[in-house]
Structure 1
Amino acid sequence: MPNVLHKIKLLLRKPFLPLLRLLAGNRKAQMVFLFFLLPLPLALFVLAVALPVRHLAFEAAPAKPAAVDSSNHQHLKEPEDEAEKQVLAEKRLALAIEEAFWQVRHQMSKSDSIGLVVNLSDSLIILEVKGVPMRQSRIVRYDRSDALDHLAAKGRLRQWLASPFILQRELATLPKAPIRIIEAPKDTIEAEQRKTEIPIEDRDVHFTWEFDRNLTIVVEQEQTPSWEGRLQKLWYETQRTWNTAAATVDSLAQRRLPEHRFWIALELNRDDAKAIYRALPQNANLALHL
């Protein structure tokens, strides 16, 4: 194994050897190299992150005007204390998110297709059909984009969550529908002789879902990956980076600011992650509770 790692390191270093020899021991050349290198990541950060976060363009869910019966409605006096106002605003936001979540699940229950429910407040991820949970798994850990707080501060989070998210693209380290080729026995005698249990697939799981309205969900397995799994994840991460860079370049080529994606990272048990990834169909709906 150390020999393999050493060969990989040498292979990765080979294209950069002339540059390393030029910079070795030459402080002036090093300073010039850094001077010309630093503006590139800074420019990419500004174009791909800072400016999109400032504008936060996303596809808004269609707003439906709600009929309000004001005959018995009593206007409550707003608190004057700033701390009380903040607490009241947080409670209102929590109720609005809860309302949107259940409205979306009700809407999804009218479909015959498998849907996905991600409930961060209860640390649950659920596969359901017509409102009936088919598989419920615990979210071990999760993280989410700070831009979601920015969206809430602008008062647009409720609208963003008001309709089901639709799955558009996915990328994974494992096949969606694995195929196992087995030679059929010639007769029952040979079938009895070859009767063995089919081994369970032991493969690491990492995948990314991209939904509409600029939502990305990244799922990682709880277990430590194997050596082969680390190589697969390296290739998977390379593809993710390439796709992001290609989308950014395409936006800039069309004279548009790159869209900033709101991301949620989930850590699940490997078997749960594998089952959920393979069960979720194309264009699946998602109900999200933050």
Structure 2
Amino acid sequence: MKTETGATKTGGKLTIIVIAVLVILFLVYYSVMAMLAPLKKLNELKEKYTPEYEEAASGSRILTDSTYLSLIKEKAFLQSKINMAETDSIYLVLNLADSIASLEISGVEVHSARISFFRMSSILGKGNEYLMYSLLSGPLNIVGDYSTIRKEPLMIKMAPRDTSEYKPDIIPDTTYHEPVNYILETDIGIRIFIYQSEKILPSDRKHQYFFDLNDRLRNTWNSLKRVAILEVPEYHPFIKLVLPGADARIIYRAIPRKGQIAVYL
């Protein structure tokens, strides 16, 4: 009887050890695959957006000249704005150099907001300037979003035929509701995070924390599914912005669901 009990305990310990080893091996494997994801994304972008004349001029000092890069940056930004202006639709312009987020229609600015803080992925920063300017020479197309607020539909009102049919407008409710946090997904994989700067209620900070947590869990789950089939997880470069809540709300509700964004680094 004691022998059977001892064998059972030994078998149980062995099972726990095997499970622990398998979990550790999977975590190591997952970590390696996760570290490879940004490199894979960078190589994909280089293959798709690096122009032929850059390859021909590889090793040339002109590609590292600050004046030349500044001109390329200006050209890419203006080209992107020209492309969007031709759509006759409202679009978002993010001028990170001047910390300004603005809404424009056909090249005319209709609203602007000061960006109090921003942060972006390292692959969008220094060291990859030429690639980024090539990448941003066209507008980013919004393909989806996640938000804590909903887009309010447009209200189309018919003009009354006489005073008897006139109904006064409903006064909008301007009291504070939910905090504004949202993510704009783009067609090339760059994700734009926009958060409100004010923390009016004690729960606002917690609300933003859980918004980010849900996004991380969603991305982790997607990564685990890819790793399980021996694929490198998809990496999404990001730009995170902090704006006044009222401006963040206006921008989210003004741009179309399939709108466009121009970015100036």
TM-score (norm 1): 0.66
Match of 2:247 in 1: 272
Question: What pairs up with 1:1-290 in 2 under 5 angstroms?
Answer: 43-48=29-34, 50-55=35-40, 56=42, 57-58=44-45, 60=48, 89-149=65-125, 152=128, 155-177=130-152, 197-202=171-176, 203-253=178-228, 255-290=230-265
Q: Measure the CA separation in 2 of the matches of 1:277 and 1:135.
A: 12
Q: Measure the CA separation in 2 of the matches of 1:64 and 1:287.
A: 23
Could you tell me how far 1:121 is from its partner in structure 2? 0.6
What is the CA RMSD across the aligned residues, in angstroms?
Answer: 3.5
- Give deviations 1:228-251, integer Å, cap 9, x for gaps: 434543442232123212331343
Identical columns (%) = 24
Q: Measure the CA separation in 2 of the matches of 1:254 and 1:196.
A: 55
Q: Measure the CA separation in 2 of the matches of 1:251 and 1:271.
A: 38
- Please tell me the residue identity of whatever aligns with 1:277: Y
Match of 1:17 in 2: none
* Change beyond 3 A, Cα 1:250–1:280: farther
Q: Is the 8 A contact 1:208 1:216 kept in 2?
A: yes
Which deviates more from structure 2 when the two are superposed, residues 124-133 or residues 244-253?
244-253
Could you tell me how far 1:201 is from its partner in structure 2? 4.0
- Please tell me the residue identity of whatever aligns with 1:271: A
Q: Measure the CA separation in 2 of the matches of 1:239 and 1:277.
A: 20
Could you tell me how far 1:142 is from its partner in structure 2? 1.0
Q: Measure the CA separation in 2 of the matches of 1:287 and 1:280.
A: 13
Q: Measure the CA separation in 2 of the matches of 1:91 and 1:41.
A: 46
| Structure 2 gap ranges (5+) | 1-18, 54-59, 155-163
* Change beyond 3 A, Cα 1:103–1:236: same
Q: Is the 8 A contact 1:167 1:210 kept in 2?
A: yes
- Give deviations 1:34-69, integer Å, cap 9, x for gaps: 998776665444322x2022222248359699xxxx
Q: Give the number of aligned pairs.
A: 227
Q: Is the 8 A contact 1:61 1:162 kept in 2?
A: no
